[in-house]
């Protein structure tokens, strides 16, 4: 990627924001600026409370989708942004691609038997914290299987905080809970107090 002619948010700016519980969002795909946000009530998935449906477990056991990590990061972001309303602008995609090249942004990708990208997710890692950003699917349950694999990666590599930014009923089915900003900051500080965890299968 040639970033010389592209406007980006510097990686150090992004990481400093995440270290303070702040994240960027644009107004639309065409927006050439970002706003910086936090949340009074924060959504997190407790590592030992993560769960998926029996159907997703069955699909995982059957190996219906093949999991890869960090091989098509930009495409995953573009697929996540490919919807009627999105906060993922070209500026955010370009900026996070640079963050990915720096080793702090990651994608979990699901491929079908034809080798096509069926679903996936992406997020940011810092210390022992993983900040989940967005996910997508082209095939039923592919996004949920990606979440399952993401949990396996986080658990295996010693991550302690899985941030979802906001709590939603949809995320609750995976074990997401809502905590106060103060409690979140305590958990974030602990996660940032250790060396960067690897994000690998």
Cβ neighbors of 5 (< 8 A, separation 6 or more) are none
Q: Which value, in Å, is the radius of gyration of the alpha carbons in the chain?
A: 16
Query: Model-level pTM?
Result: 0.95
Helix (H) or strand (E) holding 167: none
Per residue in 50-98, pLDDT tens? 999 999 999 999 999 999 999 999 999 999 999 999 999 999 999 999 9
- Residue 25 domain flag: no
Q: What is the CATH number of the domain that holds 58?
A: 3.40.630.70
- Residue 135 domain flag: yes
What is the reported pLDDT for 6? 79
- Residue 199 domain flag: no
- Residue 12 domain flag: no
- Residue 119 domain flag: yes
Please, which residues bridge with residue 107 across strands? 122
Count of domains observed in the chain = 1
- Residue 7 domain flag: no
- Residue 30 domain flag: no
Nearest Cα to 56, choosing from 178, 130, 132, 152?
A: 152
Note down the domain range covering 78: 41-84+102-192
DSSP β-ladder status, 161-165 and 129-137: parallel
Joined together, the tokens standing for residue 154 give 């986080």
Nearest Cα to 165, choosing from 38, 16, 12?
A: 38
What is the reported pLDDT for 2? 47
- Residue 17 domain flag: no
Per-10-residue mean pLDDT for the chain, 201 residues long?
72 98 96 95 96 96 97 98 96 98 98 98 98 98 98 98 95 96 97 96 94
Cβ neighbors of 13 (< 8 A, separation 6 or more) are none
């Amino acid at each position: 990627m040639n970033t010389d002619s592209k406007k980006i948010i510097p990686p150090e700016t992004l990481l400093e924001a995440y270290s303070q519980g702040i994240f960027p969002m644009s107004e639309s795909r065409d927006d050439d600026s970002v706003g910086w946000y936090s949340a009074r009530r924060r959504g997190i998935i407790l590592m030992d409370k993560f769960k998926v449906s029996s159907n997703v477990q069955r699909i995982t056991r059957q190996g219906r989708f093949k999991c890869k990590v960090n091989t098509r990061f930009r495409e995953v972001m573009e697929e996540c942004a490919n919807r009627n309303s999105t906060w993922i602008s070209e500026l955010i995609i370009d900026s996070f691609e640079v963050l990915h090249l720096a080793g702090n942004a990651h994608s979990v990708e699901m491929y079908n038997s034809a080798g096509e990208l069926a679903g996936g997710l992406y997020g940011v890692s810092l210390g022992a914290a993983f900040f989940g950003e967005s996910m997508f699917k082209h095939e039923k349950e592919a996004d949920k299987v990606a979440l399952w694999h993401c949990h396996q990666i986080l658990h295996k590599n010693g991550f302690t905080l899985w941030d979802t930014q906001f709590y939603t009923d949809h995320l609750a089915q995976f074990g997401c809970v809502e905590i106060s900003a103060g409690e979140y900051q305590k958990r974030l500080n602990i996660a940032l107090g250790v060396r960067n965890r690897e994000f690998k299968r």
